[in-house]
A and B are shown apart, each in its own frame.
Chain A
């Protein structure tokens, strides 16, 4: 896998799909292709409350990417230095082998170029010290990006804060019961 992690903190996600448009806008894509995707489901009943589920689907940047193996021209590549899987558009012939091969449906068809486009973590931005477009402009900050193990895990931090807020409430509640 690539050395990076693109984390989606689902409890903090609102399914607004801004990430999808940040991506296509940065890549200059028209209608159709969606290199990253939010898949929404629900509402469903969870303990009497309505809950939505949002799944974020960028590219996983596999260690042994099937799309790379399937590509007949070498357009689909894995970057040596950090494992980012990307497509070199100038040698893509539009055969769609990668689209068929990928178990996650990640490579996208671009009808304007008749070639494939896919999530490459916005590697030009990464190389410039920036974060991918989807992460940079996410509305709530539920997306985070960095070298795996170096980015904090929002789930642990949130759970700790939640416990603190509950503890504070209990203190106040006890206080108000006293005469």
Chain B
């Protein structure tokens, strides 16, 4: 029933001899920076940023630079593998693609028999290529596509939709002209997006001010003009007081607000008593400090931007943190002006045609989502879902059972809280498939591992990004795969063909898919290959103030939103204060260094070599009474059985109520020899957190985790 399995479906030019430049996109983290790859006789010799895109130039971060070490590393799945023995037992059988795919199809049929097609789910890490994964899962007849936003940007995404009718990702910062940026733990220079880090540092060098708010002083705090060490989880109280003071002093853009903001009465009511004095005990910031800040931004407005964040899966009011942060931008009147937040534009706004979507080839799935997104949970975007509810459904069979789960380049056992709870839920699955380029924690527990070709060895579908100027982007294939791997589009096509769904991805090559996507756009594959992208307009065009329309029912920024009303949730909830943990109890915070992307980097030979030692940041006022000294070994334990030992870093640059550690450590896969057993897995300390989430935004409440800390028994470094 299928064509030859023997050869990977390479792009036509991949074996061209001599030296050439291929335009690609980095695959070393989920940012996917545009890049140029120099290939000499079929071997990659040089990676750099795509110099045709002036926002990045040749720059790449350390992870991107370690792409060559990744490519030449043998420690990755090299053929399809089917599990022998129990899940996680580490016994595998090397199989052909035919056998692996037939096995998957057989299991999918069994799942459909038992649960219906809706019992099949897939998660990925979001981003530019989800048109393919959504198409795959919808073609199977299931609504259950998920991205990783339950532990990333879900709260801010949904908060933005509730206000503007579109995602925060469609508000693009014009940092070059910004006078003051406010960051709520958005660690721009360590959780690096190269373009953003470059623009941020460039703007700082030009005199932009930065107020950085975080219980821990990250490197970004060290670059800021003002650092506020707030109490953990208190950012919402701070915002309510800021809005109170800004309204009281009337330093907001009255013209913009009158024209574009609906529901100011509700806003005034929500902040009626949240004075600068009120917030003092919650945040630890004095009323004077807050008023001084407000005076400062009054001078710099409207070129003042409040960053709504990306990773906002923090606590149960994170949705309202994001919502109030976005409201602060609206009060500044910074939307669609230089130095403010520029609205993303579609090709149609420049009289151009956008890419043809693959999802247009599938009938919409009417079945309700398993997580209730868009139905029982009106504020959750059904386009991205909330992955923790999938695990709940696996566990309970409610609202319906789930039998098959594809983790596509996604590692929930590292990215989501409470590994033990997830493993238990996954016991109910008939089929767990990981499609990946590495041995992830989830891959190791899977029934089938399908090796995807690396980002240098594969081409992806084209993508469209609606920025100030819309662009099409491309990841072309630089080299032939080193092992028996396949690109995602081929893998999904082959599974669909085996399920007798032949029309949806009926393409023989990636070029055929590109032709379909580009049809009628006036852009050709050859155009795309010139620069790895096609810019659809000469220069960005601001929408005239009178013509701005938001994608809400009223066309305005809606403080009071229908979706919140339907969910029975207030426009801005009253602040829920946190009790300060005492004794040996601390709020656990986590973050990343510039050299690691979550769990996916530590097994890279070069990145492992320069990885920072994982330490537990702890304040001296709290460490002292516990007998913990700097560099001593400490033991950390969460709500579950899991505990770990690491070195203490006793420092005043962490709030006394919190401890901090780097994420991405504590791997268990034996075949990832450089990462296995190194450090402590913070997500495993988050016991019980798989079922705790922000009801409005849906994101996990990761930083509500409480851990207990004590000197390690075997540390041997105690005085």
Binding site for B on A (CB under 8 A): 11-12, 14-18, 20-22, 24-26, 30-32, 34, 42-43, 45, 49-52, 136-142, 154, 158, 161-162, 164-166, 169, 172-173, 176
Q: Given that A16-B62, A18-B60, A161-B207 are contacting pairs, would A140 and B197 also be in contact in the complex, using a CB cutoff of 8 Å?
A: yes
Q: Are A14 and B223 in contact (CB under 8 A)?
A: yes
C-alpha gap A17/B61 in the complex (Å): 8
Q: Are B608 and A25 in contact (CB under 8 A)?
A: no
Q: Residue of A at shortest CB range from B609? A: A31
At the interface, yes or no: B550 with Cβ under 8 Å from chain A?
A: no
Q: Are B194 and A139 in contact (CB under 8 A)?
A: yes
**Which one of B57, B217, B594 lies within 8 Å of A17 (CB-CB)?**
B594
C-alpha gap A15/B652 in the complex (Å): 21
C-alpha gap A15/B223 in the complex (Å): 11
> Which residues of B sit under 8 angstroms from A12, Cβ to Cβ?
201, 204-205
Q: Residue of B at shortest CB range from A17? A: B62
> Which residues of A sit under 8 angstroms from B192, Cβ to Cβ?
16, 139
Q: Are B608 and A21 in contact (CB under 8 A)?
A: no
Q: Are B207 and A162 in contact (CB under 8 A)?
A: yes
Which residues of chain B in 201-257 are interfacial with respect to chain A, using CB atoms and an 8 Å cutoff? 201-202, 204-208, 217, 219, 221-227
At the interface, yes or no: B69 with Cβ under 8 Å from chain A?
A: yes
How far, in Å, is A59 (CB) from chain B's closest CB?
Answer: 19
State which of B45-53, B158-166, B385-393, B706-714 sits at the interface with chain A: B45-53
Question: Can you list 20 contacts pairing A with B, beta carbon distance less than 8 Å?
Answer: A12-B204, A14-B190, A15-B219, A15-B594, A16-B62, A16-B189, A16-B192, A18-B594, A21-B62, A25-B65, A30-B606, A31-B606, A31-B609, A50-B217, A50-B227, A137-B65, A139-B194, A142-B201, A154-B205, A165-B179
Which residues of chain B in 556-615 are interfacial with respect to chain A, using CB atoms and an 8 Å cutoff? 594-595, 605-610
At the interface, yes or no: B626 with Cβ under 8 Å from chain A?
A: no
**Which one of A17, A32, A34 lies within 8 Å of B595 (CB-CB)?**
A17
At the interface, yes or no: B264 with Cβ under 8 Å from chain A?
A: no
Q: Are B595 and A43 in contact (CB under 8 A)?
A: no
> Which residues of B sit under 8 angstroms from A173, Cβ to Cβ?
299
C-alpha gap A173/B296 in the complex (Å): 9
Q: Are A43 and B221 in contact (CB under 8 A)?
A: yes
How far, in Å, is A168 (CB) from chain B's closest CB?
Answer: 8
Q: Residue of B at shortest CB range from A45? A: B652
> Which residues of B sit under 8 angstroms from A162, Cβ to Cβ?
207
Q: Are A49 and B227 in contact (CB under 8 A)?
A: yes
Q: Are A25 and B219 in contact (CB under 8 A)?
A: no
At the interface, yes or no: B300 with Cβ under 8 Å from chain A?
A: yes
Q: Residue of A at shortest CB range from B61? A: A18
Q: Are B606 and A52 in contact (CB under 8 A)?
A: no
Q: Are A16 and B201 in contact (CB under 8 A)?
A: no
13 new A-B pairs (CB below 8 Å) besides A43-B653, A142-B201, A162-B207? A12-B204, A14-B189, A15-B219, A25-B47, A25-B65, A30-B605, A32-B609, A49-B225, A51-B222, A138-B59, A139-B194, A140-B59, A169-B299
How far, in Å, is A21 (CB) from chain B's closest CB?
Answer: 4
C-alpha gap A164/B179 in the complex (Å): 12
Q: Residue of A at shortest CB range from B60? A: A137
How far, in Å, is A2 (CB) from chain B's closest CB?
Answer: 23
**Which one of B62, B64, B69, B201 lies within 8 Å of A140 (CB-CB)?**
B201
Which residues of chain B in 453-483 are interfacial with respect to chain A, using CB atoms and an 8 Å cutoff? none
C-alpha gap A166/B207 in the complex (Å): 7
Output the residue of B65, B194, B208 with the most chain A CB within 10 A: B65
> Which residues of A sit under 8 angstroms from B609, Cβ to Cβ?
31-32
C-alpha gap A50/B48 in the complex (Å): 32
At the interface, yes or no: B422 with Cβ under 8 Å from chain A?
A: no
Q: Are B219 and A14 in contact (CB under 8 A)?
A: yes
At the interface, yes or no: B68 with Cβ under 8 Å from chain A?
A: yes
Q: Are B610 and A25 in contact (CB under 8 A)?
A: no
> Which residues of A sit under 8 angstroms from B48, Cβ to Cβ?
136-137
How far, in Å, is B165 (CB) from chain A's closest CB?
Answer: 33
Q: Are B299 and A139 in contact (CB under 8 A)?
A: no
At the interface, yes or no: B678 with Cβ under 8 Å from chain A?
A: no
C-alpha gap A172/B302 in the complex (Å): 12
How far, in Å, is A129 (CB) from chain B's closest CB?
Answer: 14
Q: Given that A22-B65, A136-B58, A169-B299 are contacting pairs, would A14 and B197 also be in contact in the complex, using a CB cutoff of 8 Å?
A: yes
Q: Are B299 and A21 in contact (CB under 8 A)?
A: no
Q: Are B299 and A172 in contact (CB under 8 A)?
A: yes
C-alpha gap A43/B81 in the complex (Å): 47
Output the residue of B49, B202, B221, B222 with the most chain A CB within 10 A: B222
Q: Are B653 and A50 in contact (CB under 8 A)?
A: yes
Q: Residue of B at shortest CB range from A162? A: B207
Q: Are A20 and B197 in contact (CB under 8 A)?
A: no
Per-residue contact bits, chain B 180-208, to A (CB 8 Å; 1 contact, 0 not): 00000000011010100110011011111
> Which residues of A sit under 8 angstroms from B607, Cβ to Cβ?
21
At the interface, yes or no: B66 with Cβ under 8 Å from chain A?
A: yes
> Which residues of B sit under 8 angstroms from A142, Cβ to Cβ?
201
Q: Are B594 and A16 in contact (CB under 8 A)?
A: yes
> Which residues of B sit under 8 angstroms from A140, Cβ to Cβ?
59, 197-198, 201-202
How far, in Å, is A55 (CB) from chain B's closest CB?
Answer: 14
How far, in Å, is B290 (CB) from chain A's closest CB?
Answer: 16
> Which residues of B sit under 8 angstroms from A161, Cβ to Cβ?
205-207
**Which one of B49, B227, B298, B606 lies within 8 Å of A21 (CB-CB)?**
B606
